[in-house]
Amino acid sequence: MNDSTLSIYVSGVGGFGIGSVIRILSSAAQIKGLKAIGSETHGLAQRGGVVISTLQIGKDITGSPLIIKGSADIVITLEPLEALRAMPYLKRKGVIIYNTQKFQPLSVRLGSAKYPTLDDIKAELEKVTDRVIPVDASLKAKELGLSESANVVLLGRLTREGAVPFDIETMRQAIRETTPARYLDINLKALEVG
Amino acid sequence: MSEYDILLGDAGTKANLLGNYAFVRGMIESGVQVATCYPGSPTAEMANALLEISEKAGIYFEISTNEKVALEVAATSAIMGRPSVCWMKSVGLNVAADSAVQLSYLTMPGGLVVILGDDPGHLSSQNEQDNRYYARLAYVPFIEPSDPQEVKDFLVTAMKVSQKYQAPVFIRATTRNCHQIGAVTFGEKTKSQVQVKWDNETMRRDGGYIPLPGTFPPMKRKALENLKKIGDEFEVLGFNKGSRIGTDDPKIKIITYGHTFQSTVSALNYLGVSAEILKLGVTHPLPKRAVTNFLESNGEVHVLEELDQILETEIKALCYDQGIKTKIIGKSGLSDELDLKIGEYDPTRLVNVLAGRLGIETALNYSESSFPVPVRSPQLCPGCGHRTAFYATKKALGKDKEAFSMADIGCYSLGFLPPYNLGNLLYCMGSGAPAASAVSKAFPSENVISFVGDSTFFHAAMPGIVNAVYNKHRQVIMVMDNGITAMTGHQPNPNSGFGANGPSPRILIDDILKAFGIRFIERVPSYECAKVEDALKRAFEFTKSPDGGVAVVIQEEPCALRKSRMERKAGTLPNPLRIDLDVCRNIQNCLKNFSCPAIEKSEDDKVFINTDLCIGCASCVQTCPLKEKPMKRIDDFKRV
């Protein structure tokens, strides 16, 4: 990975729009004339298990789309526990943004494990970076009328924070290019409220 | 208009594609006429694309009943002169092996490329078997792409070579090839120049197609000669490439291939180490010229290969033959030899491996959570009919009798997880019924059950079920009928009523079982626990009656994930339920013994329903022992 490559690690629970995050960012990269390589999880893990995608954006990318531990410039997770699980990939001084809507794993529901508090998760992540951004993205998305657009709410916030090398207009265009017509308006709004 | 239409684009089109879609584009560019598969990770998405665009692409596409059948349809098409591709997951080749090992003996003018979805790291298979062995067993050349552009290009070249030598070629598609996204520049679409022909003359060409004691030796000679010729051809086709990492003098020399090459580059960049790399695009037969040129000097060469040390062994043999003194370092004889044979070589791992070999200290810099992160295993979806059926099965089997339930391959393998713990022995597709047969012989007084899904039933389960009837074994077979091949992404199967080419007669499992002579067959709605439990209890009784034997309970409910997605789209998904805490006595049976993912636990240890997950099936209601049920549908809920 060259210094000019931006490494983005995206994770969450199967079925919550991780693929779209990759598609939107990858499309934004193309609009800006940058290359993008990525990896996805398919198969059994999508049944409520941990799903991980990665994306690397840059002028000249070589190597694997997978990310080396401790080198993700940005970690985006759609569930707080998964933010904690993704922690080893986060670069020191990197950005981690996550949806605070919890989905309890089986181990927690059956009482064999304890779900950490949101405060504990945040404190833990702050050991790696001071750029820890929890967002109640699901709530904001529901206010817009589409819970699936929580992922775009996170992308909107990332754009506002200046964490991705794309301005809001580029992100809007990327969303137009990747979102089915019926969800387009809501996704564009989700970008704004983020 | 389909999202896959881009794959039909003209030459020069640039697109960011998933590896599996790059394979499909490769088929289109190669003028493939016949494409067959049985769905399985990591190759399943190829089927999803072709289900939508095969007609527009001019490809006959079918989802066959299993990998062996798929291969036989594709190979025979190639023999008739039609360019053909067949793909399967890694372990699918075990099913297809009986035919796969015959391929190289047969003349295939149309060209046949077989894509093998290997799974180093066992991300979605029952093992991580190294299918490079099969290439050696079957005398078939084996090529290994890395990024999506290579995936597409290698397939196109493989088809050309296959047509030239009229012999099959294998392409390995690991999970990281299939599920990698990268830029692909499209090439020209070619039309096959091969004539489609099969007659009394062609059926005898090159020794014919029937291996007999007298005719086999020349067929094998042909296979071996083709392998050598294709190997020589591959050497000059640019499959194997030398490259330099960094600008300093190389500190290390490496031979590698496929995604491991990409991981190696990432790791070297991370470590800031210069290296000289030979990236092999062909790993069988070993490209001797390319390897020899790379080795020709004393010193050390590292072979980085996932899983078994096949390349390492062959390169060492080459050194011996050629009198080359280069030291080859792979896995063999190293202190971490066993570890190196398990799992994939991702960039993080190779940073550690290379840092260790170069004497670089603690290269990685990351932190882990200081307290445990609860495991999140995959689970049956909210509202899955298998869950209600498992809940009822557990009751019918009785306390602590889970060991007498045998698993099979499908979403329902997840029944193994708590709280059900059902399905406790698994080999592969179709192994449930034979395993249960053996259990019933060892423990004649126990209730024994095996589970099998509808797609698995047609794929490999029937011989085991016939065996159970024929040899008079006593067991209940529970057919998990959700009408679709769910785990791999909802491809149709003979029980679906449709196939890759539109409506198809639904082949009724009930009728087949009846024809097997099974006299206890009951179809029950999965969502109704009492009915499932009752049917099972009677089925167990039947297996033990003097003229009993095999009893079948078919639990039926459409795949909840597929159904709820369609209902969500149509706006007809039922409202979710909530727990009325005035009624709930916090018994928590729904949470602890039924365990739908939508049922969660609050911080003050009360049960609540996650309305984002609940699909409103209400099957949890029957798990509450209270007379007045606390689960109530939310009347004024707006689905968002």
Confidence bin at A160 (pLDDT 50/70/90): very high
Per residue in A23-61, pLDDT tens? 999 999 999 999 999 999 876 667 888 999 999 999 999
* Spatial CA neighbour of A64 closest among B562, B268, B398, B633: B268
CB B340 within 8 A of CB B306: no
CB B468 within 8 A of CB B528: no
Interface test with B, best of A91, A106, A152 (most B CBs within 10 A): A106
The residues with which B300 forms a beta bridge, in sequence order, are B327
Name chain A contacts of B183, Cβ cutoff 8 Å.
35-37
**Average pLDDT rounded to a whole number, residues B542-558:** 95
Q: Within an 8 Å CB–CB cutoff, is residue B607 touching chain A?
A: no
Q: Within an 8 Å CB–CB cutoff, is residue A44 touching chain B?
A: yes
pLDDT of residue A48: 85
From A44's Cα to the closest Cα of chain B, the distance in A is: 6
Q: Please name the amino acid found at residue A59.
A: K
Q: In b/e form, how buried is each residue of B332-362, taking b as 16+ CB within 10 angstroms?
A: eeeeeeeebbeebbbbbbbbbbbbeeeeeee
Torsion angle, alpha carbons of B392, B395, B397, B402, to 10: 90
ipTM of model over 0.90: yes
* Spatial CA neighbour of B444 closest among B436, B432, B433: B436
Cα nearest neighbour of B606 on chain A: A109
CB A95 within 8 A of CB A73: yes
pLDDT of residue B417: 94
pLDDT of residue B448: 98
**Average pLDDT rounded to a whole number, residues B14-33:** 97
**Average pLDDT rounded to a whole number, residues B284-297:** 93
pLDDT of residue B613: 92
Cα nearest neighbour of A128 on chain B: B367
Distance CA B422, CA B407 (A): 7
Q: CB-CB: which of B351, B364, B376 is closest to A50?
A: B376
CB B144 within 8 A of CB B281: yes
Confidence bin at A1 (pLDDT 50/70/90): very low
* Spatial CA neighbour of A152 closest among A24, A34, A56: A24
Helix ranges (DSSP H) in B80-147: 92-100, 132-138
Domains of chain B and any CATH numbers: 5-236 (3.40.50.970), 241-358 (3.40.50.920), 385-564 (3.40.50.970), 574-633 (3.30.70.20)
**Average pLDDT rounded to a whole number, residues B522-540:** 98
pLDDT of residue A174: 96
Q: Give the list of residues 6+ apart from residue A185 with CB closer than 8 angstroms, or none.
A: none
Percent of chain B with pLDDT over 90: 94
pLDDT-wise least confident of A181-185, B79-83, B278-282, B563-567: A181-185
CB B555 within 8 A of CB B526: yes
Q: CB-CB: which of B124, B262, B374 is closest to A115?
A: B374
* Spatial CA neighbour of B345 closest among B117, B42, B120, B91: B120
Write the burial class of residue B572 (CB in 10 Å: 0-12 exposed, 13-18 middle, 19+ buried).
exposed
Interface test with B, best of A3, A31, A39 (most B CBs within 10 A): A39
pLDDT of residue A16: 80
Out of A176-180, A184-188, B78-82, B612-616, give the one with best mean pLDDT.
B78-82
Both tokens of B249, joined, read 């003098």
Average pLDDT, chain B: 96
Secondary structure of B383-448 in the HEC alphabet? CCHHHHHHHHHHHHHCCCCHHHEECCCCHHHHHHCCCCCCCCCCCCCCCHHHHHHHHHHHCCCCCC
Secondary-structure breakdown of chain B: helix, strand, coil percentages, each rounded to the nearest 5: 40, 15, 45
* Spatial CA neighbour of B281 closest among B326, B351, B231: B231
Delimit the domains of chain A by residue range.
6-193
Q: What is the CATH number of domain A6-193?
A: 3.40.920.10
Per residue in B254-282, pLDDT tens? 999 999 999 999 999 999 999 999 999 99
Strands B34-37 and B14-18: unpaired
From B19's Cα to the closest Cα of chain A, the distance in A is: 9
pLDDT of residue A3: 58
pLDDT of residue B43: 95
Per residue in B199-245, pLDDT tens? 999 999 988 999 988 889 999 999 999 999 999 999 999 999 999 99
**Average pLDDT rounded to a whole number, residues B619-629:** 97
Per residue in B422-469, pLDDT tens? 999 999 999 999 999 999 999 999 999 999 999 999 999 999 999 999
Rounded to 10°, the helix A18-31/A168-178 angle is 120
Per residue in B366-412, pLDDT tens? 999 999 999 999 999 999 999 999 999 999 999 999 999 999 999 99
User: In chain B, which among 266-295 make CB contacts under 8 A with chain A?
Assistant: 266-267, 269-270
CB B466 within 8 A of CB B517: no
Distance CA B365, CA A69 (A): 7
Q: CB-CB: which of B124, B263, B612 is closest to A43?
A: B124
Strands A50-58 and A35-39: antiparallel
Secondary-structure breakdown of chain A: helix, strand, coil percentages, each rounded to the nearest 5: 45, 20, 35
Note the pTM of the prediction, 2 decimals. 0.96
pLDDT at A2 over 60: no
